[in-house]
Structure 1
Amino acid sequence: MTPGARVAAAIEVLDDIEARRRPAADALKDWGLSHRFAGSKDRSAIGTLVFDALRRRASSAFIMGVETPRAIMLGAMRQVRGMSVDEIAALCTGQAHAPSTLTEAESERLASADLAGAPVHVAGDFPEWLEPSFIAVFGEAAVAEASALAARAPLDLRVNTLKGTRDKALASLAHLQPQPTPLSPLGLRLPLTSDGRGPALAAEPAYVKGLVEIQDEASQLAALLAAAKPGEQALDLCAGAGGKTLALAALMQNKGQIYATDSDGRRLMPIYARLERAGARNVQVRPQRRGGEGLSDLEGRCDLVLVDAPCTGTGAWRRNPDAKWRVRPGALDQRIADQDQALVEAARFVKPRGRILYVTCSVLREENEDRLAAFLAAHPEFKSLPARDMAEQAELPGLVAFASRFGEGLRLTPLTSETDGFFIAMLVRS
């Protein structure tokens, strides 16, 4: 396919996403199935164009003066890829399946329109109903913080210390030009290609043999802040595919016991292969049954309960740009209820002087500090560990710089820490 034909295909996919209110991945898959002539490179390039457009959907429509898939794509090519009017016009020839030529109005707006006077939610590219929440957290920096959440995310890896050191991983992946992450002592950051793609790790021996795992630096820091020690009893209550479970197993040097569970058993399925690849031998996978059965023997026994709480995912928009346009106000209310329930559930497994690590990939106070405050008000037997103490016990004193201004806990964002948006807090039982 020609570059212009790829742009036209991306516009077609955007139209499908908008018309059917569906995830971008589903729309891209269906497009590929109905256009089998498109090769893997074509499909990858089209996907990158679609995600770039979704990152800057609101601001691109504002610049172009109309909210259509074509306008959003044209605006995104200027904003995300830095293309000039002439470069965009060269792709819109109307020939060989390329988009039709630019109109005079489109050329003028691409040349001179800007975001002056745009509302905060438009300039920052996020849903209007979330504007009060973003301003409450970030104030005058709301646009800058939201814009950082709309950027492309790097590819971070965590070194599995059960298999080797960061120096060994750096040497094994030297051809990919990895760099140590600035905050996590176990992290590597791989540069993206010009089209926003990362390397094919499935072909890398370091990945296949379990020396490294894909994990954003913020998620690595969350596991490190749990301060899990060899010999402890730990419960990963919302384990999902097991990223933090694997990190805890390495920190505990395969000593003690980790119980990995999730309310949705389907999310646990990838964990089995990942455990084998990582060489993690101190993990029991416990699928939950109706009514919470299957965990009763752990009540009051755990040194650590990790709650990677279900949330709106606002902090992960760099990786899931289409998700921010699908989230609705009712989803926030549901997630708040889920978070409150998860904290109450966690409390019954914590032994005296044990701890809960509460983690979300959200930047909203409603899902973070407000949830801690509500839990602590109802459970006076728990206290929140100050951010300084969290950082020092994990031997990461530099993280004190990210202490929340709204209560206990740490806040990480793409703008301040160059990670996904994460909230991490520790609750200790008396």
Structure 2
Amino acid sequence: MKDGGRLTAAIEVLQEVETRHRPVQAALRDWGTAHRFAGSGDRTVIGNLVFDALRNKASLSAVMQSGDPRGLVFATYVKTWEKGLLALEDALAQDRHAPEPLSEQEKKLLSEDAQLRSSPAEAADVPDWLWSRFEASLGENAVTEGQALARRAPVDLRVNTLKSNRDKVLKRLAHTGAKSSSLSPVGIRIEAKPGLGRMPHVQAEEGYQKGWFELQDEASQLAAQLAKAEPGEQVLDYCAGGGGKTLALAASMQNKGQLYAFDADRLRLAPIHERLKRAGIHNIQVRDPASTDLKDLEAQMDLVFIDAPCTGTGVWRRRPDSKWRLSERALEDRIKDQRHVLENAKKYVKNGGRLVYATCSVLREENQSQSEWFLEQNPEFQALSALDIWKELLPEKALPDHVSESGSVMLTPHSTGTDGFFISVFKKQT
């Protein structure tokens, strides 16, 4: 396919997402099924156009004075990808499958000398209704943080220290451009490629098949490390989902002690069994909510880890369509969910044990406000400083910019080069 046809395809997919409110991955998959002549390279470019248009939807809509999919795709090609207006005109003229030629108004809006006036929310690519909360959470850097959340995410890997080490994995992945992560001592990063760039399919690599590494954002790796799961401990991963942090906790425990993986949604737990086998982990019990309860674990755990349900504002780089589907009602529901999870999970912590509360959100309402609420409601718990744990485990690394009075830590794309992630640690007093 030529670029003209790819532009048409991206517009069609965006229209499907907008008009039928479909997840972008599903819309892209269905487009590929219906257009089997498109090669993998074509599908990559089309996907990049669609995802980048969604990442920058507000700022590009300001450029085009409209959120129409055609304008968003054209602005992505010209502005975000820096191809320029002439390249777009050539793409439209040289392919019979291309969209209709540019109107004079579109040419004017896409021209380099077009004057752009945008609001802070548009400049940050944050939904208007959320801007006041976003700004209150991130302060004077809110626009910069929003722009960082609107860029492509790197591919981050966590070395499985039960089977390999970072030097060995780096050597095997040298052809991908993989480098050591800047913060996580077990992390590897493959930087995002711009424009038409295609990321390597690391899950096809021999090292992945052998369990030498897992896909996991660096912030998520750091959250697991700050939990300080020790060999021989009793640990409950209360919202285990697909098991990414469960595997990281197990590696920290060196396969010693007992780790329980639980999630209220049994479907979310489904992938964990294959991942455990591949990673060579033997100290995990998966508790299926449909067939068992956790009564035997009450007041027995040295550590309870909660990766709480949240709005996902910290992972907008990876799920840009979720940014525009988020609503005020959904935020309110997540806040209720988080309090419910905290109140349920606390009963499994033994005296002297720890409770770690984490979210992939950058909103204060889901993060520090929830930590403060929990401490007010549960005086038997006290805050431990995640910042002090950071200093202990990562003494040579730069400190996070976003730290609360109690020492809770928030990571962000702009400040730490990671997904947005919040970590708060509590200890149950004896």
TM-score calculated relative to the size of structure 2: 0.96
1:40 shift after superposition:
2.5
Task: Determine the structure 2 residue equivalent to 1:32.
Answer: 32
1: CA distance, partners of 2:293 / 2:162: 29
Equivalent residues in 2 for 1:102-117, closer than 5 Å: 102-112=102-112, 116-117=116-117
In structure 1, what is the equivalent of residue 238 of structure 2? 237
Q: Distance in 2 between matches of 1:143 and 1:404?
A: 19
Aligned partners of 1:193, 1:116: CA distance in 2, in Å? 27
Q: Output one character per residue of 1:9-46: Cα deviation in whole Å (capped at 9) or x when no partner.
A: 10011111111111111111222222222222222221
Q: Could you tell me how far 1:142 is from its partner in structure 2?
A: 1.3
Query: Do 1:152 and 1:196's aligned partners in 2 also have CA atoms closer than 8 Å?
Result: no
Moved beyond 6 Å, runs of 4+:
none
2:130 pairs with 1:124: no
Partner Cα distance (2:182, 2:384) in 1: 24
Q: Tell me, what secondary structure is at the counterpart of 1:398? A: coil
Distance in 2 (CA, whole Å) between partners of 1:114 and 1:66 is: 15
Give the secondary-structure state (helix, strand or coil) at the position aligned to 1:322: helix
Q: Distance in 2 between matches of 1:422 and 1:17?
A: 27
Distance (whole Å) between structure 1 residues aligned to residue 115 and residue 331 of structure 2 = 28
- 2:52 maps to amino acid: D
- Give me the whole-angstrom Cα distance separating, in 2, the residues matched to 1:67 and 1:182: 37
Using the alignment, how far apart are the partners of 2:336 and 2:92 within structure 1?
48
SS of match in other structure, 2:8 = helix
C-alpha displacement at 1:270, in angstroms? Answer: 0.6
> Contact between 2:309 and 2:359, CA under 8 Å: does it hold in 1?
yes
1:225 paired to 2:226: yes
Matched AA of 1:361: C
In the alignment, what sits opposite 1:151? 151
Distance 1:369 1:181 in 2: 27
Is residue 429 of structure 1 aligned with residue 428 of structure 2?
yes
SS at match of 1:142: helix
Q: How far apart are 1:191 and its partner, in Å? A: 3.1
Aligned to 1:8: 8
Q: Distance in 2 between matches of 1:401 and 1:59?
A: 28
Segment drifting more, 415-424 vs 386-395:
386-395
For the residues of structure 2 that align with 1:104 and 1:405, how far apart are their CA atoms? 52
Q: How many matched pairs?
A: 428
Greater alpha carbon shift after TM alignment, 146-155 vs 117-126: 117-126
Question: Could you tell me whether the CA contact under 8 Å between 1:227 and 1:393 is conserved in 2?
Answer: no
More displaced, 100-109 or 179-188?
A: 100-109
Q: Which residue of 2 aligns with 1:328?
A: 327
Bigger mean CA deviation after superposition, 223-232 or 108-117: 108-117
Amino acid at match of 1:134: F
2:158/2:216 contact within 8 Å kept: yes
Offset at residue 8 of structure 1 (A): 0.6
Which residue is equivalent to 1:342?
Answer: 341
DSSP 3-state at the match of 1:28: helix
- 2:63 aligns to what? 63
TM-score, length basis structure 1: 0.96
Paired residues for 1:314-325 under 5 Å: 314-325=313-324
How far apart in 2 are the matches of 1:69 and 1:406? Answer: 44
Equivalent residue for 1:177?
A: 177
Q: Indicate the SS of the match to 1:255.
A: coil
What is the letter of the counterpart of residue 412 of structure 1? L
Please provide the CA RMSD for this pair.
1.6
Report what 1:272 is aligned to: 273
- The one-letter code sitting in structure 1 at the alignment partner of 2:6 is R
- Whether the 8 Å CA contact 2:62–2:116 is kept in 1: the answer is no
Q: Contact conserved, 2:179 with 2:188, CA < 8 A, in 1? A: yes
Q: What residue is the counterpart of 2:205 in the other structure?
A: 204
Pairwise CA distance, 1:386: 1.8
Deviates more, 1:20-29 or 1:265-274: 20-29
The amino acid across from 1:64 in the alignment is M
Residue of structure 2 equivalent to 1:382:
381
Aligned residue for 1:401, secondary structure, equals coil
1:71-110 pair list within 5 angstroms: 71-93=71-93, 95-110=95-110
Deviations 1:328-357 (A, max 9, x none): 111000100111011111110000110011
- In structure 2, distance between residues paired with 1:283 and 1:242: 11
Q: Please tell me the residue identity of whatever aligns with 1:339.
A: Q
Q: Which runs of 5+ in 1 are unaligned?
A: none
Query: Is the Cα–Cα contact under 8 Å of residues 58 and 126 in structure 2 kept in the other structure?
Result: yes
Amino acid at match of 2:349: V
SS, match of residue 157 in structure 2: strand
Is the partner of 1:424 in helix, strand or coil?
Answer: strand
The 3-state SS of whatever aligns with 2:400 is helix
Cα distance in 2 for residues equivalent to 1:21 and 1:63: 23
Q: Hey, what does 1:299 align to over in structure 2? A: 298
SS in structure 2 opposite 1:163? coil
Deviation track 1:272-306 (CA, whole Å, cap 9, x = no partner) reads 0100100011000001139xx51110000000000
Q: Is contact 2:368-2:404 (8 Å) kept?
A: no
Give me the whole-angstrom Cα distance separating, in 2, the residues matched to 1:337 and 1:234. 25
| Amino acid across the alignment from 1:29 | R
Write the mapping of 1:14-53 to structure 2, written as runs, cut at 5 A.
14-53=14-53
From the superposition, tell whether residues 196 and 54 of structure 1 become closer, same or farther in structure 2 (CA, over 3 Å). farther
Taking the aligned partners of 2:111 and 2:148, their CA distance within structure 1 comes to 24
* Paired residues of 1:94 and 1:101 also in contact (CA < 8 A): no
Letter paired with 2:277: E
- In 2, distance between residues paired with 1:302 and 1:280? 19
Cα distance, 1:118 vs structure 2? 1.1
Range that drifts further, 206-215 or 391-400: 391-400
| Identity score, percent | 49
Equivalent residues of 1:300, 1:351 under 8 A apart: yes
Q: CA deviation at 1:251?
A: 0.6
Equivalent runs, 1:177-196 vs 2, <5 Å = 177-194=177-194, 195-196=196-197
Is 1:359 aligned with 2:358? yes
Partner of 1:255: 256
